[in-house]
A and B are shown apart, each in its own frame.
Chain A
Amino acid sequence: MIPELGLLALIAAFWTALAQGVLPLLGVRRQRPEWIALARPACALQTLFTVIAFACLTWAFIADDFSVAYVTRHSHDALPLIYKIGAVWGGHEGSLLLWVLELAGWSLALAVVSARHSPRRIALPAALAARVLGVLGLLSAGFTAFILLTSNPFLRLLPAAESGRDLNPLLQDPGLVFHPPMLYMGYVGFAVAYAFAMAVLMDEDSRSPSLQQAWADWARPWTLAAWLFLTLGIGLGAWWAYNELGWGGWWFWDPVENASFMPWLAGTALLHSLAATNKRGQFPRWSLFLAIVCFSLSLLGTFLVRSGILSSVHAFATDPKRGIFILGFLATVIGSSTLLFLARAPRNEEDAKPVALLSREAMLLLNNLLLLAACASVLLGTLYPLALDVLGIGKISVGPPYFNAVFVPLILPICLLMGPGFLARWGHNEAARLLRQLTLPLGLCLPAALLLPLAWSSWHLGASLGLFAALWIAATHLQQIILRLSQGQRPGRPWWGMQLAHLGLALCVAGITVVKTYETEDDIKLVPGQFVQVGGLPLHFLGVSAVDGPNYQAQRGDFLLGEQRRIQPEKRQYPSSAMPMTEAAIDSTPLRDIYVSLGEAVGDDGAWTLRVYYKPLIGWLWAGALCMALGALLAASGGRRKP
């Protein structure tokens, strides 16, 4: 009963979304205020229906309704409740429904916020709001149609199965319950910026400079929020991989990981471009272009994951029909926005303003260039094997060696640019002043970067370079904090947010540099009672015992690190899977992680093989990602700056 209700609600959501999409857009064009006025109510109604549909599916999981085929494929009655809920988006159909739910949520938020009138805020004109909601409605309709036609989560299994197939044990982890929702919030959030760009381009006055400044102003908090979620989503994914997969890795340049990273890079460029457009009216074309690119990359990512076109650990079960549909959707979204952009965006020949060398604008432009080059390189590496295969030239693999070789030389200049970029003022060009201010940080960072690597082990050039970049960011930013505070200034939240986000990046760069250069990995065999030295401490092996979990049986290893810290890795056997799952155990301190993963039992004396990792500064990665997200939150909550 409930699943049928869910299906009905989803169908209703489709029609409502279509109405939300078509009527306001036509209404603006044909000057029909009553159609324009439908935008918000339609949006509210669509969200309601989508929520009902999602709630029905969730109920089906919680109630173990195995007459729904999707529930049977991804759940089990012994599954703990939190994972039953997580299983709702554990498969392709449900995760798409989550996408649509989040898209509806963002649209509703926009509808509500844009209707408010307050003295601090310049209201969104009705026509523009209608168009933005209209574009979002079309996107929702497209996705909902995709679900209904090719990926219906409410398909039934009659008669019902006795039991489910269980959620993939790899997914039974809290990190993975939150990772997709966060990530989708990011992807979907960029749809808002995209909708704004489209609405602006559709406007009769699409080239007006004042409109450009205004839309940048409205879109900024939404874009910041989307970027925030995407940062958290990617960070969660990496953290989950590190904790769950048992081999100490956290980023593999897998096509699907790249698919999330590219919108992040483009989104970072978009944020900076919007700042310039909002405050100085600069780079309106860039802002429009990047808004389109960000969401297009999100959609491309969806296509790559769900069409089976690339080999990836993340890929959902595939069906060629799905691939074709998404491709069609992708082509429509990118094609229409590109054509609109080419036809109606502000023209460089007439409208572009001057940019002084060494001004903040110039730095931002260079920054965007570097970010886009990085993004384009990742795209190139991800799609190149496909291109060669399609052209019949052969089959190659493009993996971490390529991406690391290509990406690192691009990220370092970006970090270095942050120093002067942060100090430079809008519109001015004062090389002398910049050099003067940068001398101190340079003087501090250079020797520090040269000496610090020795704290871990032998000196490496790569470590010094990376540490220099991180220290450089930290030093230049701290310098500014000290200067401003000492001058009695009280900068607003957006400024602090920017500081925090940049420092977050510095933390990440430092963490990645040190971990990659100085981590160690050892395969050893231990008998109970033996110990091995790791990270300066002895790791004693106490033995392995059998343990029962809620829905698994496990072998648990007992280790003592140093005097007091217990580490207990496990090898779990879930009923639904033939392969045992390794649950690594990690001992974390702010400066290092010690990571132990069980191998196999050997011989008769209780000996076990294990892998022990020493990972210095890896915690800084997660801290950095959090800081970046918090920084964005601060900046978004800072209220509207007067333009």
Chain B
Amino acid sequence: MTLALTLPTPSAAGWKGLLLGLLLLTLMQASPLRAELSTEEVKASPAVEARLVAIADELRCLVCQNESLSASRADLAKDLRREIRTMIADGKSDQDILDFMVARYGDFVRYRPPFKASTALLWLGPLLFLLGGGLWLRHSLRQRAARTAETAVAPVAAANESQSNVHPAPATTTADSQTAPPAPVRLSRRSAWTLTIALPLLTLLGYAWLGNPLALNPANRRPPDDPAAMARSIEQLAERLQKQPDNQEGWLMLARSYRMLGDDTRAADAFARAGNKAHGSATLLAEYAEVLASRDSSFAGQATTLLSEALGKDPEDGLALFLAGAAAAERGDRAAARKLWQQLLPRVEAGSEAEATLKAAIDRLQQTSAKR
């Protein structure tokens, strides 16, 4: 059975943590939100810029690695361009600047590989291909010419042979085209039956191995709306797991189901029993942290560690960002909470309830801090 267990964005249920965060707010210093991609320093003269572009075009951005240093918007690229401008202003030559880069980052940073023993084959290769090809061509032409000379000597038999070689009409196939289309071939009964049975059988066999029949039941696909039905299926799962205590994936499913029901204590226990599987993705870690925080009414302790781990795995995970911000706010770490929530804001769907709540939370922080 194949199951993928990652939830990519926080569900509506996950935002209940927002309420928790609101309860735990402390005062914060407001600061401008705008993601400041700093514009470059005052550009130098066009001549210097032209030289910069010429040099930077030859260098590879080390962060994204698929752009030149002149095209890249990465921070390191900006820093390096700044360094190059300074060096140009200092009167360094192009070679000096290249040497500077190579000394620090190795030959990797140059898009034009230097000519060395190890790259000799690279630079000479195309020339060798041409020369080799040329020599081969000459040899081949001569060989063919020589053979023509030979065959020209032999009289009639050779002439007949060469004539049939040059004759365009393909002998075998003209015979075919002149006859009527071949009679349709009937498949023997036995073969027909074998195939008709074999195909569906083999297909079902493959499906048994690769397929996921659980998915055929619509109830399994939709997160259940009916709380009673959900509670029932959860009970069944819990019972089954009592008999299979090592089924970590099962415990994980149970934990997430309890979380959706709001039963934080049971959810926390189930997450703990899910072991490594609970650490499989940032979202799972965040969910685990959430139930712990809910249960203990505080982020202190394991919840904070889990959130750190979550952000380490995926610094963009929505739920982790949100909860980590709330945890920071609880601690009194205004700067961190602000940073985390600002990072989250552009990722929230515009006009959604979640965005409104998040914005309200950030505003509240700024208001309360302004009061102070």
Q: Do chains A and B touch in the complex (CB under 8 A)?
A: yes
A376-B129, A380-B122 known; A37-B113 Cβ under 8 A: no
Instruction: Judge whether B160 is part of the interface by a CB distance below 8 angstroms.
Output: no
Provide the bound-state CA to CA distance between A38 and B198, in Å: 15
Number of interface residues of B (CB under 8 A): 98
CB distance from B196 to the nearest CB of A (A): 11
CB distance from A353 to the nearest CB of B (A): 7
Provide the bound-state CA to CA distance between A401 and B112, in Å: 5
Identify the stretch in B101-109, B262-270, B289-297, B322-330 within 8 Å (CB) of chain A at 4 or more residues: B101-109
Instruction: Judge whether B147 is part of the interface by a CB distance below 8 angstroms.
Output: yes
Instruction: Judge whether B91 is part of the interface by a CB distance below 8 angstroms.
Output: no
Contact, CB under 8 Å: A643 / B112? no
Among residues 139 to 153 in chain B, which have CB atoms less than 8 Å away from a CB atom of chain A?
140-141, 143-145, 147-148
Over the window 195-215 of chain B, the binary record of Cβ atoms lying under 8 Å from chain A Cβ atoms (1 yes, 0 no) is 100111011001100111111
Instruction: Judge whether A4 is part of the interface by a CB distance below 8 angstroms.
Output: yes
Identify the stretch in A5-13, A222-230, A440-448, A476-484 within 8 Å (CB) of chain B at 4 or more residues: A5-13
Contact, CB under 8 Å: B203 / A11? yes
Quick one: which of B5, B8, B68, B118 has the most chain A CB within 10 A? B8
Instruction: Judge whether A523 is part of the interface by a CB distance below 8 angstroms.
Output: yes
B-side residues, CB < 8 A to A, are: 2-9, 11-12, 37, 39, 43, 49, 53, 57-58, 60, 65-66, 68, 71, 106-113, 118-119, 121-123, 125-126, 129-130, 133-134, 136-137, 140-141, 143-145, 147-148, 165-174, 176-177, 181-182, 184-188, 191, 195, 198-200, 202-203, 206-207, 210-216, 218, 220-224, 316, 343, 346-350
Provide the bound-state CA to CA distance between A372 and B171, in Å: 33
Contact, CB under 8 Å: A394 / B185? no
Contact, CB under 8 Å: B177 / A117? yes
Quick one: which of B37, B113, B182 has the most chain A CB within 10 A? B113
CB distance from B241 to the nearest CB of A (A): 17
Nearest opposing residue in chain A for B62, CB measure? A397
Among residues 1 to 45 in chain A, which have CB atoms less than 8 Å away from a CB atom of chain B?
1, 3-4, 7-8, 11-12, 14-16, 19, 33-34, 36-38
Hey, which chain B residues are within 8 Å of A521, CB to CB? 53
Identify the stretch in A150-158, A430-438, A535-543 within 8 Å (CB) of chain B at 4 or more residues: A150-158
A156-B212, A161-B8, A578-B346 known; A401-B203 Cβ under 8 A: no
CB distance from A515 to the nearest CB of B (A): 15
Contact, CB under 8 Å: A281 / B168? yes
A156-B3, A158-B3, A165-B9 known; A402-B122 Cβ under 8 A: yes
Provide the bound-state CA to CA distance between A279 and B169, in Å: 10
Among residues 504 to 551 in chain A, which have CB atoms less than 8 Å away from a CB atom of chain B?
521, 523
Instruction: Judge whether A412 is part of the interface by a CB distance below 8 angstroms.
Output: no
Provide the bound-state CA to CA distance between A56 and B129, in Å: 48
Provide the bound-state CA to CA distance between A300 and B223, in Å: 43
Contact, CB under 8 Å: A599 / B126? no
A214-B170, A353-B144 known; A396-B182 Cβ under 8 A: no
Contact, CB under 8 Å: A8 / B9? no
Instruction: Judge whether A362 is part of the interface by a CB distance below 8 angstroms.
Output: yes
Provide the bound-state CA to CA distance between A400 and B5, in Å: 42
Contact, CB under 8 Å: B206 / A14? yes
Provide the bound-state CA to CA distance between A402 and B107, in Å: 14
The interface size bin for chain A is 35 or more
Contact, CB under 8 Å: A4 / B216? yes
Provide the bound-state CA to CA distance between A125 and B177, in Å: 9
CB distance from B104 to the nearest CB of A (A): 14
Contact, CB under 8 Å: B182 / A126? yes
Contact, CB under 8 Å: B66 / A313? yes
Hey, which chain B residues are within 8 Å of A312, CB to CB? 66
Hey, which chain A residues are within 8 Å of B129, CB to CB? 372-373, 376-377
A8-B207, A394-B107, A575-B349 known; A311-B215 Cβ under 8 A: no
Q: Beyond A214-B172, A355-B140, A365-B137, list 19 extra A-B contacts (CB 8 Å).
A: A7-B210, A72-B8, A73-B8, A210-B172, A249-B71, A252-B66, A279-B168, A311-B66, A352-B140, A354-B145, A357-B141, A377-B125, A380-B126, A398-B113, A409-B126, A410-B126, A521-B53, A575-B350, A599-B39
Contact, CB under 8 Å: B66 / A254? yes
Contact, CB under 8 Å: A573 / B71? no
Contact, CB under 8 Å: B134 / A397? no
Provide the bound-state CA to CA distance between A126 and B9, in Å: 56
Nearest opposing residue in chain B for A9, CB measure? B203
* CB contact between B206 and one of A15, A33, A125 (< 8 Å): that residue: A15
Hey, which chain B residues are within 8 Å of A578, CB to CB? 316, 343, 346-347
Quick one: which of A148, A160, A393, A599 has the most chain B CB within 10 A? A160
Contact, CB under 8 Å: A523 / B113? no
Provide the bound-state CA to CA distance between A285 and B186, in Å: 37
Instruction: Judge whether A388 is part of the interface by a CB distance below 8 angstroms.
Output: yes
Provide the bound-state CA to CA distance between A395 and B203, in Å: 47
Instruction: Judge whether A95 is part of the interface by a CB distance below 8 angstroms.
Output: no
Contact, CB under 8 Å: A210 / B215? no
* CB contact between A402 and one of B71, B113, B147, B221 (< 8 Å): that residue: B113
Contact, CB under 8 Å: B211 / A7? yes
Provide the bound-state CA to CA distance between A600 and B78, in Å: 15
Nearest opposing residue in chain A for B145, CB measure? A354
Contact, CB under 8 Å: B177 / A366? no
Nearest opposing residue in chain B for A313, CB measure? B66
